[in-house]
Amino acid sequence: MNDILKNWVEKIRNNNANQVAELYHDEGLLLGTFSDIERHGKELIFNYFENLLKSKIDVEIITKHEYKTDSIIVSSGFYNFQVDDKIIKARFSFVFLKTKESWKILSHHSSELPKVV
């Protein structure tokens, strides 16, 4: 797991919305599992995690596939959320952008896995 994805998981587990939101680029976009709106920019991203982290949350990466360049990493796969002792199976795609200071999350899409028909 790349360091920023691992760091994201750790910040979620620490239950600190400020620390999670700081991992996102100023122009970051979050299409969150538990939201029906596009969250563009740190304020809306912070609001999402502030609300989500009112619950006890854990995340487990199940699968991960990466593509890397010098300035961009795309990471997609499956993860499980544990929310107040309920397991929610989901899929994710992150786009990480290298800035002058560090790697930031430019785009993050997450959605619950559909029920198999």
Give the model's pLDDT for residue 116: 81
Q: Which residues of 42-52 are buried (b: 16+ CB within 10 A; e: fewer)?
A: bebbbebbeeb
- As a three-state string, the secondary structure of 26-37 is EEEEEECCCCCC
The pLDDT tens digits for 27-67 are 999 999 999 999 999 999 999 999 999 998 999 999 999 99
pLDDT score for 2: 60
Find the mean pLDDT for residues 96-114.
95
Q: Which residue has the higher pLDDT, 117 or 23?
A: 23
Q: Measuring CA to CA, which residue among 83, 89, 66, 84 is closest to residue 4?
A: 66
Please report the pLDDT score of residue 103 as a whole number: 95
Measured at the alpha carbon of residue 1, what is the angle toward residues 50 and 105, in degrees to the nearest 5?
A: 45
Looking at the chain, the whole-number percentage of residues with pLDDT higher than 90 is 91
CATH number for region 3-111? 3.10.450.50
Q: What is the pLDDT of residue 6?
A: 93
Residues 39 and 20 sit within 8 Å (Cβ to Cβ):
no
Q: Are residues 8 and 75 in contact, defined by beta-carbon separation less than 8 angstroms? A: no
Q: Assign 115 a pLDDT band (cuts: 50, 70, 90).
A: confident
